[in-house]
Amino acid sequence: MPIESDIAVVGGGPGGYVAAIRATQLGARVVLIERGDLGGTCTNVGCIPSKALLESAGRVISLGDMGEFGIDVSGFTTNWAQVQARREQIVKRSRGAVESLVKNNGITLIRGTAAFTAPRRLQVAKTEGGIEEVTAKNVVIATGSTEARPPIEGMDLPGVMTSREALSIQAAPQSIVIVGGGYIGVEFATIFRAFGAEVTIVEMLPALVPLEDPDLGRALAASYQKWGIGIKLGTRVGRIAQAEGGFEVTLVSEAGEERVRTQHVLVAVGRYPYTDGLGLDRIGVEMDRRTIKTDDHMRTNLEGVYAVGDVVGKYPLAHVASTQGEVAVENALGHEVEMSYRAIPEVIFCHPQIAVTGMTEAKAKEAGYDVQVGRYPFSAVPKAAAAGHTDGFIKIVSERRYGQVLGIHMIGAGVTDLVAEGVLGINLETTVEDFAATIHAHPTLPEGIREAVLASAGRAIHILNRRR
pLDDT score of 102: 98
Mean pLDDT of 382-393: 96
Are the CB atoms for 444 and 435 separated by under 8 Å? no
User: Rounded distance, CA 102 to CA 412, Å?
Assistant: 37
pLDDT score of 465: 85
Query: In the structure, what pLDDT confidence band is assigned to residue 27 with cuts at 50, 70 and 90?
Result: very high
290-348: per-residue pLDDT in tens? 999 999 999 999 999 999 999 999 999 999 999 999 999 999 999 999 999 999 999 99
pLDDT score of 75: 87
376 pLDDT above the threshold of 60: yes
Q: How many other C-beta atoms are found inside a 10 Å radius of the C-beta of residue 218?
A: 14
pLDDT score of 333: 97
Are the CB atoms for 162 and 179 separated by under 8 Å? no
Residue 462 falls in the annotated catalytic set: no
Task: Spell out the CATH class of 346-456.
Answer: alpha beta
Contacts of 73 (CB under 8 A, 6+ apart): 63, 66
Question: Half-sphere exposure of residue 408, counting CA atoms within 13 Å on the CB side?
Answer: 38
Q: Domain locations in the chain? A: 3-146+272-332, 160-269, 346-456
263-274: per-residue pLDDT in tens? 999 999 999 999
Residue 248 dihedral angles phi and psi, to the nearest 5°: -115, 125
SS3 for 243?
strand
Strand order in the sheet with 236-243: 236-243, 246-253, 256-262
87-97: per-residue pLDDT in tens? 999 999 999 99
∠ CA 224-225-228, nearest 5°, is 90
pLDDT score of 165: 96
| DSSP secondary structure of 113-139 | EEEEEETTEEEEEETTSSEEEEEEEEE
> Domain 160-269 classified CATH 1.10.10.10?
no
468 pLDDT above the threshold of 70: no
Mean pLDDT of 380-402: 96
User: Rounded distance, CA 312 to CA 141, Å?
Assistant: 9
pLDDT score of 263: 98
Are the CB atoms for 133 and 2 separated by under 8 Å? yes
User: Rounded distance, CA 238 to CA 290, Å?
Assistant: 25
User: Rounded distance, CA 456 to CA 434, Å?
Assistant: 13
**Pure H helices in 168-262:** 183-194, 214-226
Please name the amino acid found at residue 181.
G
155 pLDDT above the threshold of 80: yes
Contacts of 310 (CB under 8 A, 6+ apart): 15, 144, 145, 271, 273, 274, 316, 321
For residue 459, the Cα-to-chain-centroid distance in whole angstroms is: 34
Torsional sign, CA 432, 349, 388, 229: negative
Are the CB atoms for 28 and 333 separated by under 8 Å? yes
Query: What percent of the chain has a predicted confidence (pLDDT) above 90?
Result: 97
pLDDT score of 133: 97
Are the CB atoms for 448 and 376 separated by under 8 Å? yes
User: Rounded distance, CA 359 to CA 348, Å?
Assistant: 17
Q: Which residue among the candidates 297, 351, 440, 442 is catalytic per the annotation?
A: 442
Contacts of 449 (CB under 8 A, 6+ apart): 394, 396, 408, 418, 421, 422, 435, 440
User: Rounded distance, CA 440 to CA 433, Å?
Assistant: 14
∠ CA 254-216-272, nearest 5°, is 70
Q: Do domains 3-146+272-332 and 346-456 have the same CATH topology?
A: no
Q: How many other C-beta atoms are found inside a 10 Å radius of the C-beta of residue 135?
A: 17
What kind of architecture, by CATH, is found in domain 3-146+272-332?
3-Layer(bba) Sandwich (3.50)
413-459: per-residue pLDDT in tens? 999 999 999 999 999 999 999 999 999 999 999 999 999 999 999 99
User: Rounded distance, CA 361 to CA 359, Å?
Assistant: 6
User: Rounded distance, CA 460 to CA 441, Å?
Assistant: 16
65 pLDDT above the threshold of 90: no
Please give the mean pLDDT across all residues of the chain: 96
Mean pLDDT of 357-379: 97
SS3 for 146?
strand
Query: In the structure, what pLDDT confidence band is assigned to residue 467 with cuts at 50, 70 and 90?
Result: low
First to last CA, the chain: 73
35 pLDDT above the threshold of 60: yes
Of 293, 291, 298, residue with least CA distance to 325: 298
Query: What percent of the chain has a predicted confidence (pLDDT) above 70?
Result: 100
Mean pLDDT of 189-199: 98
| DSSP secondary structure of 206-221 | SSSSTTS-HHHHHHHH
Is-cis flag, bond preceding 150, omega within 30?
no
SS3 for 204?
coil
Mean pLDDT of 102-127: 97
